[in-house]
A = this chain, B = another copy of it.
Amino acid sequence: NPQLNPTTSEPPTPPTDHRSLAQAHGLFITSPYSPGSPLLLPNGAYVFQKLQSFLRAQYPQFGFQEVITPTIYKKSLWEISGHWDNYAEDMFSVQGRGATGRTENAEVGQDEEFGLKPMNCPGHCLLFGNETRSHRDLPVRLADFSALHRNEISGALTGLTRVRRFHQDDAHIFCRPDQILAEIEQTLKFVGMVYDTFGLGPYKLLLSTRPLDHFIGTIEEWDRAEMQLTEALINSGREFKTNKGDGAFYGPKIDIILKDSNGKEHQTATIQLDFQLPQRFNLQYQASPEEMVAQLAGCENAKGLDNAHRRPVIIHRAIYGSLERFMALLIEHYAGTYPFWLSPRPAIILVLNQSPEILKYVTFIQSVLSGLRPVPPGSLENSNGKPTPQPLATIHLPIDVDASSRGLGKKIAEAFKKRYNHFIIVGPNEARDQTLKLEMIHQPNIPTSENALSRALGRDLQSDDYK
């Protein structure tokens, strides 16, 4: 099996490989104790969380509700979902110590086998199925950032792109068949909005349709769904291609294929329709009067339903896809010149000497630019000797300080190596005049950064203050 060998045949790609850039910025490390599960260092966790927060901030306007679901489920759930049979090789199994993994005659909780979840769908089906749903309650849109595990061969593991543990901006939309068009349209708009924000693109859209032989549901259901997908794609105004017959047996899908700066293609977002899971989990909602008049389609998918109930369709959708992989893409995309709000090293304050006045002014500048309330140096305390809570809406920026006794040349060299986006130099003049000297490097959009810094300082930056 060639996949078992380490991937030594890859061409060397030092300048834009996400791993070397990530190392310069201190984003993550890997460990032989958990191959394929990158450990995100503070800077990497910072970027990860900014990506997560950005999407979270968008969820309410698109009607998504976040949920928090288990990491492990019993074998019996994975049997219902079909993963135990179809996905066995890619799943990790989990046992209580001393358990045999067999459930016959076992004491409850003492001898159960679990699966470490590779996907969130079965858990979301449990949540949907937990309540009686009316046709008016749909769509229900559940989002989940859970860690997922897939047992990839260890020889294939690389950085943030080929991993065993990752997080998706995963969501499942449970909707009526007649809501597919609107949901796909909104999802395509969501994708466009997010990729525009990061300056990613152009991207291609790829529709995969009903396979010839083996599929569930009726041809009418497929045709209706595919027509809605096609209409949404046309309405998006973007180029798309159709791969006829290339869909999974349980539903058609749309893939979003991103071209990176080297012309390499990456499949990131997916929008996958699913007629199967609703059936496996016997999910249903109370039919609308129109649906009751139209009667039930007599297909296997409707098995077990009376005419007063219908199966929802599930839309699996992810916009980033794997957050780890999306981070790798962005690392290469920005090549170190992150936008100010996302940069793990937006700025460093280089201190000319260590006099108390300068250090005091530096602490002030640092706290203002970081988004923290300005505090007297060396103290978190207000006049009561008690720290004060920072408000929830605080956006913290990691503004660093080099107040060591080394010379400015050495400090600048190190700051260059660490790829800070801005150097802020503070010496006796700046402390006296309460100004600052700004140098920008690795910065794609200088006016935006100036703007952000001016806003933070509460006044315009003087053009003399930076070059």
Q: Give chain A's interface residues, CB within 8 Å of chain B.
A: 4, 29, 31-35, 37, 39-42, 44-46, 48-50, 53-54, 56-58, 60-62, 65-74, 76-77, 88-98, 107-110, 114, 116, 123, 126-127, 130, 142, 147, 149, 151, 153-155, 157, 165, 186, 189-190, 192-194, 197, 341, 370-373, 375, 380, 386-396, 398
Contact = CB atoms under 8 A, between A and B. Distances in A.
Copies in the complex: 2
Nearest to A388: B193
26 contacts: A4-B107, A29-B127, A31-B70, A33-B76, A37-B71, A39-B69, A41-B127, A45-B66, A53-B392, A54-B392, A57-B389, A60-B371, A60-B372, A60-B398, A61-B373, A61-B375, A62-B380, A62-B387, A71-B71, A71-B149, A88-B97, A93-B97, A96-B151, A108-B155, A147-B147, A197-B389
Given A45-B68, A96-B92, A109 B387 contact: no
A43 to B, nearest CB: 9
Given A69-B40, A74-B33, A92-B97, A370 B151 contact: no
Contact of A92 (B29, B65, B114, B371): B114
Contacts of A94: 92-94, 116
Contacts of A88: 97
A142 B43 CA distance: 12
A127 B39 contact: yes
Contacts of A35: 109
A132 to B, nearest CB: 13
B67 A394 contact: no
Contacts of A387: 61-62, 189-190, 193
Contacts of A31: 70, 126
A95 B97 contact: no
Contact of A370 (B40, B45, B60, B186): B60
A46 to B, nearest CB: 8
Contacts of A40: 67-69
Contacts of A69: 39-40
A78 to B, nearest CB: 9
Nearest to A144: B45
A386 B189 contact: yes
A41 B33 CA distance: 34
Given A71-B116, A89-B97, 5 more contacts: A39-B127, A61-B380, A71-B149, A72-B149, A92-B96
B49 A396 contact: no
B95 A92 contact: yes
B61 A41 contact: no
Contact of A58 (B45, B123, B389): B389
Nearest to A324: B68
Contacts of A375: 61
Contact of A61 (B76, B114, B147, B372): B372
B116 A60 contact: no
Contact of A395 (B151, B372, B392): B392
Contact of A108 (B45, B154, B390): B154
Rank and list the top 9 A-B pairs by shortest CB-CB distance, nearest first. A109-B154, A37-B70, A42-B65, A40-B68, A34-B70, A33-B77, A393-B393, A96-B151, A57-B390
A2 B460 CA distance: 70
Contacts of A123: 39
Given A69-B40, A186-B380, A396 B57 contact: yes
Given A71-B71, A123-B39, A29 B108 contact: no
A72 B151 contact: no
Nearest to A186: B380
A387 B186 CA distance: 9
A284 to B, nearest CB: 18
Contact of A29 (B48, B130, B388, B392): B130
